Every structure is written in structure tokens, then in C-alpha cells.
Structure 1
Amino acid sequence: MDCVGRLMITKLSHRLGTIAGLVTDGARVADIGSDHALLPVYLVSKGQCPSAIAGELNQGPYEAARRQVREAGLSQKVDVRKGNGMAVVTPGETDTVTIAGMGGHLIATILEEGRVAGKLEQVKELVLQPNVGEDAVRHWLTEHGWALMEERILEEDGKIYEVLRATRVEDAALHNGELYKALHLPVQANSLISDDEAVELIYRFGPYLLAEPNEVFYLKWDSELRKMDRICTQMEQSGADEAIVRAKQFRLEMAQIEEVLACLRKDKP
């Protein structure tokens, strides 16, 4: 059993390893959309978490998760459950919820459904890895009293991922209010970006990632600009009035992103 546990640890990907690194030691964890249960198996086999729930909706991954847990000899500590989102969790049985590998809007929906059902009442920590739409997750956290505490950005196999960690604290509103202040956005002296637009850009970039941008951060946003440019060109070539209006909006967004990136690069030591 010990050998199998060690094998599971060595096979954890950079993405899942980053998520695991943000989970508080000693926390009972629920991994929603767990796929093959690699993350819960790692956390428990390492001794970082005393127990875990692996929730999975689809039958194939659910069976694979059960097999993974069984082969790791962790059936008494990792409970694999079949169900949709937070439906697999009973209030009070988990300290940390992890959700990874989904779109940001879907993650926000899962969290909201869990909140309405009372599944998050005693949860202390969220570790979330949206594939896209990270701003939707940040907005949900702010709107529901979760303090964003850490962010990571990484590249693996040609894909870029962001990982967010949030906790429930009494002064979450003050904490988040400070994070998303318009004045924190690096802009030119004569910038036309309004305060509201600046705040929204911080939600989009990520306040911690914006404060300490690394090479992966720049890689992501350079790639995003290229994608937006291709979309704009297609819309402009279509000739449709609605598409042309939308393309103009995209061009404005691109100009704002480019301004921020230029200021960040200028300030780079």
C-alpha cells in the first residue's frame, strides 16, 4: 500500500500538484468533478489530508475513480461518490472544496448551487482551477463573502492554467475591496480607462497575478490578444452591422489589455 501511495504521488501533474499545494494541511477535502480521483488519492496518501470525497457525475470516470482509490488501498479514507456538483457533499463533512478543469461560469454555478443548498456553510477554503472564465469565479467569490488569498498561473503541455485559493474570513469585503481597487491597475498617465473598466480588468487579469506577473502571465495575454484579433478580423469581414459593432468593442478591450501589458513590461525590473 505504501509503494502504491508513493507511485500515485510521483504521477501527479504540475497542474494538480499546484492545486494540492494550496490545500491547507489537515483539511478534509471534497474534490468536485474528480475524474480519476488523482488529487484526493494524492492528498490522502501523502498524509496532507485525513480524508477526502471524490465526486464525479459521469459513470466512466466514477468507475475509474473507484478503481484508483481501491488500488491505492485508500477505500477507508477516500469516499468516491456519484452525483452532480456539490450534491455529493453533506454539510459539515468537509473543510476544503476543490474544483478543477471546468469553465469558470460552470464552477460559479456549482458553487452557487452548493451555497443555496447549504453545502458551503462550514467549508473554510476553496481551491479552484477554471480552464476559462476566471473572472466569473472571482466575481462569485467577491459577491458571496469569500476572500481571494492566493493565485497561481502555470503552463503544462502547451496549456495555461490559473489556480485560485479563497477562504472565509470576517473582513472578506474589506479584503476584496482592497484587492480590486481601480488604482491598482497599471495604466498610462493619460489613460482613457474608467475606474469601472479598471476594476473589471483586475477581475480579468487576477489581482495577485497582476501584482507579480511572470512569463506565463505574459504568454497567456499575448495569446489572448492574438485570438481576439482573429475574431475581430472575422467579424469585420462579415460586413454585418452587429458584428462590426461587436468588433469595435473587442478592439477597445484589446487596446486596454495592451496598455496594461505595456505598463507592466515598462515597470519590469
Structure 2
Amino acid sequence: MNHPAAVPPPTPDWSRTDLGDHAHWPASLRLTIDILLNSPQAMLLVWGPQQITVYNDAYAALIGLPSLRAPGGNVPAMQPAAFSWSSAALAPAREGRGVSYRGCTLPLWRDGRMEQQALDLYYTPVRGEDGVAGILCTLALARPAAAGGDAPLRLLVVEDNADARYLVCETLRALGHEVEAVASGEEALPLLSRQVFDVLFTDVSLPGMSGVDLARLALQQRPRLALLFASGYGDELTRRLEFPAQSLQKPYDIEQLQQALEQLAASLRAN
């Protein structure tokens, strides 16, 4: 039996919005909006000094405003609640650092009236040609406290592919963890010396220093650091390591990632 092919949603006519013709957008804006519009997670982007807003269907459904229609692309009459609930909340993102807040109470439209709802908010800076040009907010209903009082893991992600780095960081934040990300081992080492992480999650094949060599140097700085590798070429490089580590074969799914993190968390608690 033949099944009809899925029909992709119509491409928005961006030339009729404040963003203008998408042919003139910077690459970072094109990538971010492509991810946003194809993500099942509620996402809201505020872009440029005008604070132009773009959002997806999941955000419109979460917020519940009857007149809201994705994807936006205009200067709003007033700031979305995710960007106005705290004047200081977005300062780290404006400085180029991802930041998350748990259980923030924001207004949502439900059954014909406004209700207060606890949400988890994850802010990711989006860089333009001259620094941070926009901030992407991923929203989710607040996660209940983990059984047994498990704390979120603090992860440093090292991945040279910008798309893969972005997606894995958003997934980790949606799972409730705290994440920093860089594109190379050379960038990771100074960060490891300045900040305390629970887990180093690194691609094996990186430009310059390999993920395995990075892990060896990282353990000299942080002997208690847990290690998680991702590789698209099997486990040849990670099978006979002289230190304990978890390894994921690309492409991996969210269940495999979550299982690996649970094992690492259990090991960290045991030590």
C-alpha cells in the first residue's frame, strides 16, 4: 500500500516581515530559523537591535494566545514574557554564554484566560558578524524534581560541526543539564581550567587535537572528570583507553544519550 508523501509546510514570505528577504540574511540567522521551524521544542528567537521575533508552532501552542501564528518575523508591540520576566536574566546570553533557568513562572493562555505556569527556559546566543546578534529561547514545561534529588550534570560539549553542536546542546538542556560548548580541544582546555564540569562530552575526530588527546589532557587538570565520546567511525579509537569512558556511535538517539548520562551520573555519585 502506497502512503502519500508528507507535504512540507509552505515557506514563509520573509520579504513581507521585518527580517526582509532571506537571501540577505547572515548564515547564523538562516541556520537558527531552519532549526527553530523544524524543531518539536517550543522556540522563540529575538533578533537584532529591533528585537524582531520569530517562533515556531510549538511555541504558539505552548503560549496559547488565540491570535498568535508562527513564524512571526516582526517587531512585537511588547516583549514576549520569556524575554521580559527578568531584566538581568539575559545578560549572560548577550555576553555570548548559554544560560538556563528552571521553574520560572510565566503567563500562558488557557481555556480563555491567563494562567501562571512554571517553565524551564534555555537561552542560547546566536552570533552575527559583529558579536551576539540574537538570542534563542527554548521553552518547556518545568520538569519535576528528579527522584532521589539527582542534580543536573554540568557538561562541556566539544563538537566542531555547528549544527551537531547546537542540536546536542539543546537536547542536553531539555534533559535538564547545564551545558557549555566549544568547537575544538584547543578552546576546551582553557575552559576546563577555569570552570568545574562533571562530564566532558567530545567528538573523537576534531580538527587539530583529537577528542582522545583532549581527554588525556583534561584528566590531568580534572582527575574526577567523567568522559563521554561520540564517534562516527566505530569504537576503534576508544576501545583500549587507559582511562574509563563511555562511548556513543553516531548517529545515536536520545534514549542512548540519556542512558549514558545516567551511567556517568551514577559513577560520579559513587566516587
Same fold (TM over 0.5): no
Superposition TM-score tier, normalisation by shorter sequence: 0.3 to 0.5
Instruction: Give TM-score scaled by structure 1 length.
Output: 0.33
Normalising by the residue count of structure 2, what TM-score does the alignment of the two structures yield? 0.33
Compare relative contact order (CA 8 Å, sep 6+) and give the higher one, 1 or 2: 1
Greater share of helix: 1
Greater strand fraction, Structure 1 or Structure 2: 2
